[in-house]
Amino acid sequence: MVNSEATNGSDLTRLTAHEAQEFLTSGKVSSVELTEAVLARVDELEPQIHSYINVTREEALAAARTADEARSDGKDKGPLAGIPVMVKDNLSTEGVPTTAGSKILLGYTPPYDAHVVSQLRSGGAVIIGKGNLDEFAMGSSTEYSAFGATRNPWDTDRVPGGSSGGPAAGVAASECFISLGSDTGGSIRQPAALCGIVGMKPTYGLVSRYGLIAFGSSLDQIGPFSRDVRDTADTLSVISGHDRRDSTSINAPGQDFASVLTGDITGMRLGIPCEYLVDGMEPGVTAAFEKSLETLEAMGATVEEVSLPLTDQALAVYYIIAPSEASANLARFDGFKYGNAVNDVPTAWDVMDQTREKGFGSEVKRRILIGAYALSAGYYDAYYKKAQQVRTLIIREFAQTFEKFDALVTPTSPTVAFMAGERMDDPVAMYLSDVCTIPVNIAGLPAISVPGGMSEGLPVGLQFIGPQMGDGTVLKVAHAYEQATEWHRFKPTL
């Protein structure tokens, strides 16, 4: 149901994308008016939030005019036509600078679009700009960006989560309707939880990674943020599908994911992994999670505890595999091919050394060193090979669990949004922010975080995990839970 009172700019920006689409279809507003309202919101809030690295104002208005012309000509391009969206700044955008949050890519403008960006453009979406992130997507708070930290719209003294903090904060603050992020170990779901919105990591390979600046190639996946599950389903329908340019892309036909949102989960079997209720989980998060389980049971689902013993090994496995892949992927940034470079030095080796020294931030350097060590002679078998063997066991454990359950339910984050600066000097504490999300990436599974309660005035996330290619299942359960509760209606008062 569209809010009939949403006629001025500030109200327009608070609509969901599908509500805004109804306004566009009925002729109540144009895409240009919608885009202008969002840009005004960005101008108002960016000094507080800093969710964008780059706002592409003129390009957005041009795209909005094109969307309006297509609509007037009767050319229906789908659910995102004319809708303002943000994309994380590690997704290549033709003609628009792409930094991955790093000084080393200053001055780099891609000559091509990422596959998902092409899909958005083909669907008539209006790209407003590029979202802030932890440098090269390495972080859980968006404080490691070379271009300044993003703040949480619920409390600007707190972090929005990471690494996709800019896209998450942008949706929560109504600075866009939908955004795209990347998720290597929780970088969509954790900030979605901390910002009180919906964030989904699809099955590995369902969405092409072509044009994504790689962090951990066997773990990375692109997915949407939105203010409700319907918008996430619509966006996934637009960006998913086979792409021959990505060798890991699943060769399967596109799907209409919104068609599975029935609101009925009667008889579904939901597993509760006891290992995800970790030490250090805040009491408010635990209370909200337990209340959510009661709600799911009342909706007709069967809720049963299950054990996933290898969960305890997942964090260690991730922090060997991900840095190892990062150390290989980031070797391409040498000061010669593209981006920023230090040239006033005597030799080519000095150019490479100084470019990396001045271009990479501390967290990126830390992970490169960890990865290079794990891959080095004498340690490869002890660390990287062993981690891959345990990864296989984790995948097998999940597969066996899904023989009994349709989906798993866990907290998304063990805490609500923490204070800015609180964990900057403690990398291990920062890494523990993703303890509930990392196993999903290791196994390549789909998972979604939805608003699941409040604790001390801050949002709590609820995570649904599905089997391989069970994206429709997690969307169905998440949507039904969302419709049975009011948490997704809670908004920050900016």
Question: Taking the alpha carbons of 285, 287, 293, 299 in that order, is the dihedral positive or negative?
Answer: negative
Of 88, 130, 201, 476, the catalytic one is 88
Q: Helix, strand, or coil here: 128?
A: strand
Q: Does residue 455 have an active-site annotation?
A: no
**156 burial level (CB within 10 Å; 0-12, 13-18, 19+):** middle
Question: Taking the alpha carbons of 115, 246, 132, 95 in that order, is the dihedral positive or negative?
Answer: negative
CB 334 within 8 A of CB 352: yes
Triad 298, 299, 302: Cα angle to 5° = 80
Q: Which value, to the nearest 10 degrees, does the dihedral of the CA atoms of residues 469, 473, 474, 475 take?
A: 110
Encoding tokens for residue 443?
Answer: 């196994």
Q: Give the amino acid at 42.
A: V
Residues 413-448, buried b or exposed e (16+ Cβ, 10 A)? Answer: bbbbbbebeebbeeeeebbbbbbbbbbbbbbbbbbb
Q: Does residue 163 have an active-site annotation?
A: yes
Residue from 63, 145, 37 nearest 100 by CA: 145
As a whole number of angstroms, the distance between CA 64 and CA 52 comes to 19
The residue with tokens 């290898």 is 310
Of 51, 102, 118, 163, the catalytic one is 163
Q: Give the amino acid at 146.
A: A
Q: Does residue 88 have an active-site annotation?
A: yes
Of 187, 327, 433, 449, the catalytic one is 187
Pairing state between β 269-273 and 407-411: parallel
Other Cβ atoms within 10 Å of 266 Cβ, number: 10
Catalytic residues: 88, 163, 187
